[in-house]
Amino acid sequence: MQQNTRRTGGAKTPITTHRSTTGISSIHQDAGWPGTEDEHLAKELAKHAGIERKTIFASRKIDHLHTSLALDGDMVAGKEEMKIFTVATVTKVNVGYVTGLKISMALKEAIGGDWEWPVKEYRDGRFLITCRSPVEAREMEKSGEIHIPTFIMKCEPWTADIWKVGPADGEIRWLNVRRLPNFCWNRDSAGWVLKAVGDLLYVDRRGGSYVDDIRALMRIRRGRTMPCILWTNIGSRKYKVLVGLERGQEQLPWNGGEMGEIGDDMEEEEEGHPQQKKADKNREKAQAS
């Protein structure tokens, strides 16, 4: 426990801080933290303005545009960077109202140091707090409720589920990808080549026992049947890439009972000239004889 003082209106007000491994679990202070009345007024005016805009735009026709993306290298790096953030929810307000500035001031007062504790508010009332490290963010989340003089908040990890409206379209399956050029075995290149099949989630460069094969976890676009052949132009060369479900994977609902695995018949296929299957050829020979 540490006893500090804070000057309020010419007098010193005692602050008692209970520190834990996180650097903060609770702060007790007799006087409230300073707020900005103009900021609170601006928020109220914005709410009323929003109601008026809803009335004006009620008859508008809104276009719904759809995109489907693979998880590329930049997105994966972006998710990694988000580990230094934590999402705070105010569970109780004792006095006044809560702003990002108040949270920043409280954390800086309790933990100390030169870190400014940047905080930005979500539209749903939660707050995104920038911590100094992922370890510190996780420690704040483990602390449970954090008691500030005028409010109580609780932190939880940032997740990609924020703003999610539902599961992504399509079916997720492990695929066997054969003859994908070796220089395309990275996440971004594999995602571009396999885009016609669906959206790449993960590429396993180790593949199977042959150099020809790699494994890819993909969200397969609805209606795309397996197996399939991708003819792709890269630079001055054309490649034939074979794609099918990995053995043991559940059949696609729209695949008509076909297991969807790569077969020898695909090796014979030529671009624009599908070859007859061996069974059909043998049947024709038998009929001719």
| Distance (Å, whole) CA 203 – CA 216 | 4
Does residue 220 share a domain with residue 150? Answer: no
Does residue 83 share a domain with residue 7? Answer: yes
Between 54 and 72, residue with greater pLDDT: 72
Q: Place 288 in a pLDDT band, splitting at 50, 70 and 90.
A: low
57-71, 146-160, 171-185: the lowest-pLDDT one: 57-71
Number of domains in the chain: 2
**What pLDDT sits at residue 64?**
85
Does residue 152 share a domain with residue 13? Answer: yes
273 DSSP assignment:
B
Does residue 7 share a domain with residue 95? Answer: yes
**Is residue 86, in this structure, part of any structural domain at all?**
yes
**Is residue 162, in this structure, part of any structural domain at all?**
no
**CB contact at 8 A, 12 and 31:** no
**E strands in the chain:** 2-8, 11-18, 26-29, 85-93, 119-121, 127-130, 145-148, 151-157, 171-178, 198-204, 213-220, 228-234, 237-245
Does residue 213 share a domain with residue 106? Answer: no
**Is residue 41, in this structure, part of any structural domain at all?**
no
Mean of per-residue pLDDT scores for the chain? 81
**CB contact at 8 A, 36 and 101:** yes
What's the chain's Rg over C-alpha atoms?
Answer: 29
**Is residue 186, in this structure, part of any structural domain at all?**
yes
Dump pLDDT digits (tens) for 112-128. Answer: 888 999 999 999 999 99
**Is residue 74, in this structure, part of any structural domain at all?**
yes
Does residue 174 share a domain with residue 153? Answer: no
Does residue 179 share a domain with residue 152? Answer: no
**Is residue 220, in this structure, part of any structural domain at all?**
yes
Dump pLDDT digits (tens) for 244-258. Answer: 999 999 999 999 999
What residues make up the domain containing 76?
A: 2-32+70-157
Percent residues over pLDDT 70 in the chain:
73
N-to-C CA span, the chain: 98
Q: Place 174 in a pLDDT band, splitting at 50, 70 and 90.
A: very high
**What pLDDT sits at residue 208?**
72
| Distance (Å, whole) CA 42 – CA 30 | 28
Does residue 178 share a domain with residue 147? Answer: no
Predicted TM-score (pTM) of the model is: 0.63
Dump pLDDT digits (tens) for 63-101. Answer: 887 888 888 889 999 999 999 999 999 999 998 999 999
**What pLDDT sits at residue 116?**
94
Does residue 115 share a domain with residue 206? Answer: no
**Is residue 287, in this structure, part of any structural domain at all?**
no
User: Once rounded to an integer, what is the mean pLDDT over residues 102-109?
Assistant: 92
Does residue 101 share a domain with residue 240? Answer: no
Whether 23 has a pLDDT exceeding 80, the answer reads no
Does residue 186 share a domain with residue 135? Answer: no
**Is residue 20, in this structure, part of any structural domain at all?**
yes
